[in-house]
Structure 1
């Protein structure tokens, strides 16, 4: 059966879809009919620019904002929803007015709201044109990948296909179709013939090899309509190493055909995957995390495949920036050491756990890791325990110090309003922030959500949570009548009904102060400097942090020894003993020095450990520091 895979809006313009590219690569292994790939989000980008007669450079920003920043309001889905709700919804004009008011309530600027309304107006025409193009391929089956804001765009195009060619099969897969959401999609939208739950390789291989729908009865992970009901085949969990290297040829062909390829091409990064699932989640799932859905079981490719995969991708496409889609970097055999030793100028990105030390981060930077997303979430150890992060404030601060030192861009988020949060957890972060403005600030400050598959959702009573139903955005995203939005939704409204008793007015004030202080942190970061350099028997400290910096200081003798012992973290008992012995000071006098340094924000004290918050400026380049740190043992 001939199959065409489609990546709908709002996939990042700068990332070819690894989902359809991995599945399309199965065709090169000789499994059934050819598999085509269509990058519908690039088609949408060009169509929208021309339909709205807007500046393409300006629309790149609009596209990125909708796809990345406004996902939580359902904007990307709502834009494509008019044809789905036309028969049973409230009517188009009331729908537009209600949603515009919803967006403005959430702080979306009027100019952007007007652009969103204009995009909604032209989206049905785009869906029809793309459906015409897909039907003209002669393919018998069309498969849409869906995650984040891709579900309703996929449904809009799928419906247009069925209007034109009812005999063709349309199926959906991806995060929005994981159990039980996929079955809910089929019940809500009868024109969808099937969904793929879990990993798609087995189902796609079966479709490509099938001669008719009857051949798909046993396809793993496929939910099919059968005699008025849904027939469900359980998904198969496959070894990670069986997944082929993605095939991105069609993405680059479509990119080259854009009238303005220079807007996107210089910023493209090639996605790859080394593992599936989450090894930390298998052990202790973070309370708020539903990211892996039902696919938590961790599987990783042998580390030796990392260099081989990246060389294959970069040589094939001439792009040297890459992007790991793994939920978490493998603990041991991750291939970074071999990549660091390879003579290639590849840069890459990984999601990592934030308790990595100097040696691990040095190795990452030497391997070309220039951006990371660490699961920091908070700088309060108490809050991190509530979130079951398996890290402390000490770990997170050390991570940020090392990233600043090595030139690694740390992209992280700050969470609050988790169940049982206490005022002191917010207050300690408010006290800390003025001392760390030289370190990378969080991208966002937000309240903890309750997402499907997370412990908060699966066992709300354990956390004193009462679920209040789907988030409000789903009333707009799935606007038809008679729909089970609870089954379709991923994020849910909630309220804490038992647990720690706090003054809600006080907590709200503290959270607002935290958000404002992070906003100031972002403004000050570019001008904030807190660094040190080693000399022969001295350390020179340069403290030019806005509002708290005290200028240049020279540390000698025991103070130099004490400071050095806490660089990248050290045990206080050992550091105090060494400094006291060197200078003949009592332990109490050394502790007085530590308290003074902590008061100035030179060091962070937590339990039995201390951490210098300044960043070493060795006057070497970042790779030189990385090579040095790779040899350290902590």
Structure 2
């Protein structure tokens, strides 16, 4: 499918015409911060609007936020924009789009077609069922030059004193291209850049990309950005090109972001609006678990795992201000992990306050029945628990501090309370064993009544323990992915830019690809029971179909004092679809307990194992069935 048969060139596009018209009436401040492409169209930039609010409150300086990603997305269309936004950064396709414009490289950089074909292979696509072809990608990169030129002219026409870009994921080349073009047109304009791609020593790498960038901000900007603006007004700009952050320790001092510019620009440039608009907020930074035991593969929070949180009442006040000002479907917490104290301090405060929204939070995967009920009552009904494995051996390799029975319990409770969960099943760990995945494959068919995962290979990321302590994990020859040197100019050291790395290490899963194929096939089958065919391989889809009765089930229902019905539609051939069971059998199907302290007879335990309504793992009798929350609560109370 050739997208340019229906997509106009930038110069002839309606998107360009609308953007120019918007800028004619766009009243900007003396500082303009740009969200570069490619980024999601369904949410504002929390980071830039926080800086905007801090600049106003602490420096008395007006800041405008210009959504370059919306201007770009309005032109290429939401479907193609989403493709770029959700792709793994391993291919650097978004970086390749702007590589020639930013660095003077060859179009799309080196080996671009190889990277494109790798993306097709990894996402089980062909050019026929992908939203664009390699030829389209080349054309888009050529057209991107004109887009950058126009954006620079429009921004400079507003005569700002400072123009900045925020770069995360694959926004660096677009940022450099824009700032280069702006500096060429207006040498007196101060150009700045910041964001996750400037964290720690990555700032030095970004500084080497272009002499047109005056200042690089590294880390949290709530303190240093207003300070910089005050110094600018005083004519006393920093002599250091890289401005290192001071962490914001009192998060209650961060003012509420104002998202008006996002909604104004989105409404002006995009029609129809994205379906599931999202309002981002944050209640904490860092990771309270990672402070004590960093997960081996996790590179989030750069080198600042120190945990900080807002007071619950401050978060409530902020949310109330946001939801009364802007339309949205989802309130998304950008926390790495929800504060543990929020179960008692925060969730009761928001119960019945935000019922028209779904609320998203990342979680540890040791949620109990009561806690899942608290999440549901507070409308936190979309969560991402760090499940990652159905193997305690693998979980220990990750420093998770969680066992498999806890992961399964979290999945069960989510199904019981109809809480959507987004979770990944990972493979390819340093030092993993083939047996870890053979164990996993024994259990997965028994879990088809619970939300299925997306399968991913482990990536070696900057700031992870794999990156900092490779020898401890048998990692050798750690180096940036080849795609970085294919995109970056030759004088730049990819080791100071790269977020993802490659290396050599022993791995039972990677050395036995048939195991990975079995995992892929099993998860594809599992997802096919939950999702329409066209969404089976879509990592964005986490919510089940609206009709609960269409999903696989393993459910206990009480029909009399000592009489229960067990419905099993998981598709396990030897299992009966429906059977009448006793109270003790229902207990075995619903309650997880130590094998050393079974509260049921050995005969009933063996019945549960034989009927696959429970499994033995971690020295536990692990129940798999679901039930009404009240019924399950009664049974679990009997086990205390």
Q: TM-score normalised by the shorter chain: which range applies? A: 0.7 to 0.9
After TM superposition, the structure 1 stretch with the greater mean CA deviation from structure 2, 205-214 or 64-73, is 205-214
Quote the Cα distance in structure 2 between the aligned partners of 1:557 and 1:503.
42
Matches within 5 A, 1:335-350: 335-340=346-351, 342=353, 344-350=355-361
Displacement of 1:286: 0.4
Displacement of 1:232: 5.1
1:2 equivalent to 2:30? Answer yes
Matches within 5 A, 1:75-474: 75-86=93-104, 89=105, 91-92=106-107, 95=108, 98-106=111-119, 107=121, 109-110=126-127, 111=130, 112=132, 113-211=134-232, 215-217=236-238, 224-225=240-241, 233=244, 235-260=246-271, 262-264=272-274, 266-333=275-342, 335-340=346-351, 342=353, 344-443=355-454, 445-474=455-484
Quote the Cα distance in structure 1 between the aligned partners of 2:218 and 2:322.
28
- Could you tell me whether the CA contact under 8 Å between 2:432 and 2:509 is conserved in 1? no
Name the structure 1 match of 2:525: 520
CA deviation profile, 1:3-31 (whole Å, cap 9, x unmatched)? 21111112211111111111111244262
Name the structure 1 match of 2:499: 490
Quote the Cα distance in structure 1 between the aligned partners of 2:635 and 2:135.
51
DSSP 3-state at the match of 1:431:
helix
- Label 1:252 to 1:331 Cα distance change in 2 as closer, same or farther (>3 A): same
CA deviation profile, 1:452-486 (whole Å, cap 9, x unmatched)? 110000000111101341112212331x2221011
- Label 1:16 to 1:274 Cα distance change in 2 as closer, same or farther (>3 A): same
- Could you tell me whether the CA contact under 8 Å between 1:77 and 1:153 is conserved in 2? yes
CA deviation profile, 1:31-58 (whole Å, cap 9, x unmatched)? 222111111111111233xxxxxxxxxx
- Label 1:538 to 1:452 Cα distance change in 2 as closer, same or farther (>3 A): same
- Could you tell me whether the CA contact under 8 Å between 2:555 and 2:567 is conserved in 1? yes
Among 562, 567, 570, the alignment partner of 1:545 is 570
Matches within 5 A, 1:614-625: 614-617=625-628
Name the structure 2 match of 1:20: 48
DSSP 3-state at the match of 1:533:
strand
Which structure has greater helix proportion?
Answer: 1
Displacement of 1:235: 3.1
- Label 1:31 to 1:626 Cα distance change in 2 as closer, same or farther (>3 A): farther
Among 509, 513, 521, the alignment partner of 1:508 is 513
DSSP 3-state at the match of 2:193:
strand
- Could you tell me whether the CA contact under 8 Å between 1:361 and 1:402 is conserved in 2? yes
Displacement of 1:211: 3.4
1:533 equivalent to 2:557? Answer yes
After TM superposition, the structure 1 stretch with the greater mean CA deviation from structure 2, 159-168 or 594-603, is 594-603
Quote the Cα distance in structure 2 between the aligned partners of 1:277 and 1:631.
35
Quote the Cα distance in structure 1 between the aligned partners of 2:464 and 2:425.
18
- Could you tell me whether the CA contact under 8 Å between 1:278 and 1:296 is conserved in 2? yes
- Label 1:4 to 1:97 Cα distance change in 2 as closer, same or farther (>3 A): closer
For structure 2, the residue ranges without an aligned partner over 5 or more in a row are 1-28, 532-550
- Label 1:239 to 1:477 Cα distance change in 2 as closer, same or farther (>3 A): farther
- Label 1:324 to 1:282 Cα distance change in 2 as closer, same or farther (>3 A): same
Displacement of 1:189: 1.9
CA deviation profile, 1:176-222 (whole Å, cap 9, x unmatched)? 0001001111023221111111101112212332335852328xxxx
- Could you tell me whether the CA contact under 8 Å between 1:306 and 1:339 is conserved in 2? no
Among 75, 91, 98, the alignment partner of 1:73 is 91
1:64 equivalent to 2:82? Answer yes
Quote the Cα distance in structure 1 between the aligned partners of 2:611 and 2:445.
10
1:554 equivalent to 2:554? Answer no
Among 72, 75, 88, the alignment partner of 1:47 is 75
For structure 1, the residue ranges without an aligned partner over 5 or more in a row are 49-58, 219-223, 226-230, 580-589, 619-623
TM-score between both structures, scaled by the size of structure 2: 0.85
- Label 1:343 to 1:473 Cα distance change in 2 as closer, same or farther (>3 A): closer
Quote the Cα distance in structure 2 between the aligned partners of 1:503 and 1:454.
21
DSSP 3-state at the match of 1:293:
coil
CA deviation profile, 1:482-535 (whole Å, cap 9, x unmatched)? 2101111111101116xx8x5964x22212211221111111235422222123
Displacement of 1:557: 4.3
Quote the Cα distance in structure 2 between the aligned partners of 1:630 and 1:551.
25
TM-score between both structures, scaled by the size of structure 1: 0.86
Aligned length: 581
Displacement of 1:164: 0.7
Quote the Cα distance in structure 1 between the aligned partners of 2:248 and 2:639.
37
DSSP 3-state at the match of 2:181:
helix
CA deviation profile, 1:516-571 (whole Å, cap 9, x unmatched)? 2111111123542222212332221100112444211111143344445x1xx334
